[in-house]
């Protein structure tokens, strides 16, 4: 990670930790494609309104008792890495966070979240299969591909590859579900293999009556030996059952024979339940879901399509949209066509149209441009969270305009009989999944064009009546650090307060060496005061001391930086060197730990200055005031050589 970016993310982490109610209020942290997900002991201690104004944050909300902060695709990974390290939760697994969060969820929320987690884990494989299917469909319609043996052969292999992945999707679902619910993943794979065994009649062939089905009689019940090809719902149920059986037998079987007997019993009982209970129930659920969706298309027609695509993005706000993956998979398995995918896709691009409209209305606003442009780019690749939470939902009328545009796109999907041959990707990449039958690719473009235009136009119209935000209310944040360093040596002076009273907080020398202004540090992050104002010392020895009495808030794992809170509540960051995070703790020794109370002059960090400089790093030590109130100013009250006895190197004054 670039050093400048890391410093920026460190400041974000410090601010977020404080706004979440402090580290002691944070139970766990994880992230998804766009959101930093934080579980708190007490959500009431978090200042969610202030979080919206943190650098790079595009939106924040609470779902399932998780505080979810929108950063956007890619960015959230880097922010998470630094935030988790800052709060010493980097090694916390996603399952740990789920366990904590699940305790606060109601039963419905737990079910939906679990379904989401199952498909998130196997989504790379699903995307690969979907895109390969789309690619095969495109190539298969080209005459020069058909005429060329090599190209025809390659396309055939692509088709086989995509078909194989979808063909074994129930196995992948059983594996992921078993893993998600706490069982050993290999047992989920075993159950998946049983579901697709060659000893069973192929489910599709059995449905067409082209294969003979053997029937067994177990406990007086007739059990048809039919495979579970396309049985996504059955695989979900079996993954759950297998995980619970595994946990049960692991506890009940004596340790001396557990290794042999526990997996044996799990597999045996699981197989019996598969053919006698879970299989029939799962097939019934699958049939009901598919029949319900087909009924909607046949009986509600154009209205059903419009309602679905118009409201789909409201489902995204709740976090329940991941369940559509299971429905799409089952729909494909049963009918071979997925009309849900293009409906979701037009709903997504319509929200992008709303973003463009809001940008057009406030194009002179720097902050709006910073939010809207990357949010729209994310929309083009099927990710709407930055757009929804950063703009559309925040200002209300854009999301209404986007929903209307989505409904308009849904009407086109119905009229053109547009469908997909896969699932898992939408908007620009999603065109590869469009069913080419009936000019599918052209219809895909038309439907999306109508949706984005509808979202854009309706948002402009609604904005004429509903936009209550003046241009100045969403302007770029003013620099929180309104104070300035005033160096007495340079002849600059400070005008005392009119009331004649001066409240001071003094910070003494924190290292031996030469005191310099922060602007003189040879690093843009520090010299431009991205993290805040402060001072710096060119060290004469490899030791960092406490500049005043206070508490160690956070010692970074790499030991190159330490966050410190003075006894009067002022927060500072002492950073040893420039880009020294790349050393991963080498040459650094910490003498304090998180939560330690320290006194002025107490040794906190030692570092091998010679070795660090030999490695090519600048060892200057900035001290940054990360959250100084606007009514305080910093002043250098000393200059030249510094040590721990140097009085009042820096003074904070009201």
Longest Cα separation, the chain: 99
CA nearest to 551, candidates 536, 562, 537, 567: 567
- Where does 32-148 show beta strands of DSSP type E? 35-40, 59-63, 66-70
Q: H or E segment at 84? A: helix 75-86
CA distance 519 to 535: 8
| Cβ atoms 194, 170 nearer than 8 A | no
CA distance 577 to 592: 19
Contacts of 5 by beta carbon, 8 Å cutoff, 6+ apart? 78
**Catalytic residue chosen out of the listed positions 32, 178, 563, 652:** 32
CA nearest to 622, candidates 7, 1, 54, 6: 7
Contacts of 545 by beta carbon, 8 Å cutoff, 6+ apart? 509, 510, 511, 600, 601, 602, 603, 604, 644
575 is catalytic: yes
Q: H or E segment at 333? A: helix 324-335
**Catalytic residue chosen out of the listed positions 31, 322, 448, 575:** 575
Looking at residue 299, what DSSP letter applies? I
User: How crowded is residue 231: how many other Cβ atoms within 10 Å of its Cβ?
Assistant: 29
403 is catalytic: no
Pairing of strands 633-636, 486-487: parallel
- Class of residue 165 by CB neighbours under 10 A (exposed 0-12, middle 13-18, buried 19+): buried
The catalytic site residues sit at: 32, 575
């Amino acid at each position: 990670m670039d050093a400048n970016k890391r410093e920026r993310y460190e400041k974000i982490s410090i601010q977020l930790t404080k706004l979440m109610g402090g580290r002691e209020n944070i139970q766990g942290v994880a992230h998804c494609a766009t959101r930093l997900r934080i579980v708190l002991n007490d959500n009431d201690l978090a200042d969610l309104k202030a979080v919206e104004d943190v650098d790079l944050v595009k939106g924040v909300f609470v779902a399932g008792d998780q505080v979810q902060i929108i950063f956007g695709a890619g960015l959230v990974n880097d922010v998470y890495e630094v935030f988790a390290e800052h709060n010493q939760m980097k090694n916390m697994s996603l399952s740990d966070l789920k366990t904590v969060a699940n305790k606060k969820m109601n039963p419905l929320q737990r079910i939906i979240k679990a379904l989401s987690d199952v498909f998130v884990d196997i989504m790379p494989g699903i995307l690969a299969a979907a895109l390969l299917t789309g690619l095969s469909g495109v190539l298969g319609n080209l005459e020069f591909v058909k005429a060329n043996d090599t190209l025809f052969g390659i396309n055939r292999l692509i088709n086989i590859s995509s078909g194989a992945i979808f063909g074994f999707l129930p196995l992948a679902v059983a594996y992921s579900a078993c893993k998600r619910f706490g069982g050993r993943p290999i047992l989920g794979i075993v159950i998946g293999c049983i579901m697709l065994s060659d000893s069973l009649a192929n489910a599709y062939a059995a449905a067409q009556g082209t294969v003979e089905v053997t029937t067994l009689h177990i406990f007086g019940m007739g059990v048809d030996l039919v495979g579970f090809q396309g049985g996504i719902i059955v695989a979900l149920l079996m993954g759950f059952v297998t995980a619970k059986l595994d946990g049960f037998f692991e506890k009940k079987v004596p340790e001396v024979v557990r290794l042999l007997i526990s997996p044996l019993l799990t597999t045996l009982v699981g197989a019996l339940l598969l053919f006698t209970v879970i299989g029939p129930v799962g097939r019934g659920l699958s049939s009901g879901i598919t029949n319900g969706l087909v009924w909607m298309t046949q009986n509600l027609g154009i209205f059903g399509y419009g309602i679905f695509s118009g409201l789909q993005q409201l489902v995204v706000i709740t976090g329940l949209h991941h369940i559509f993956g299971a429905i799409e998979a089952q729909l494909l398995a049963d009918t071979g066509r997925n009309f849900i995918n293009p409906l979701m896709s037009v709903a997504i691009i319509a929200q992008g149209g709303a973003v463009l409209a809001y940008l057009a209305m406030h194009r002179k606003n720097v902050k709006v441009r910073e939010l809207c442009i990357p949010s729209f780019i994310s929309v083009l690749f099927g990710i709407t969270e930055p757009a929804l939470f950063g703009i559309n939902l925040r200002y209300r009328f854009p999301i209404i305009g986007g929903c209307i545009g989505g409904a308009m796109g849904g009407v086109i999907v119905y009229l053109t009989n547009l469908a997909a041959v896969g699932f898992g990707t939408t908007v620009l990449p999603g065109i590869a999944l469009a069913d080419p039958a009936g000019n599918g690719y052209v219809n895909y473009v038309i439907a999306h064009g109508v949706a984005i235009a509808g979202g854009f136009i309706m948002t402009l119209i609604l904005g004429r009546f509903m936009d209550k935000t003046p241009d100045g209310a969403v302007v770029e944040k003013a620099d929180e650090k309104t104070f300035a360093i005033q160096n007495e040596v340079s002849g600059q002076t400070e005008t005392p307060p009119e009331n004649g009273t001066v409240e001071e907080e003094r910070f003494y020398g924190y290292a031996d060496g030469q005191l310099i202004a922060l602007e003189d540090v040879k690093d843009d992050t520090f010299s431009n005061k991205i993290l805040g104002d402060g001072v710096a010392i060119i060290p004469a020895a490899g030791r960092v001391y406490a500049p005043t009495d206070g508490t160690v808030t956070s010692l970074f794992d790499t030991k190159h930086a330490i966050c410190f809170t003075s006894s009067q509540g002022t927060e500072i960051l002492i950073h040893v060197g420039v880009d020294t995070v790349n050393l991963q703790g080498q040459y650094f020794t910490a003498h304090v730990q998180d939560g330690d109370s320290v006194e002025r002059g107490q040794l906190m960090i030692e570092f091998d200055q010679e070795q660090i400089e030999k490695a090519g790093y600048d060892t200057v030590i900035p001290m940054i005031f990360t959250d100084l109130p606007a009514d305080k100013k910093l002043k250098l009250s000393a200059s030249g050589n510094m040590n721990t006895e140097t009085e009042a190197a820096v003074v904070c004054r009201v």
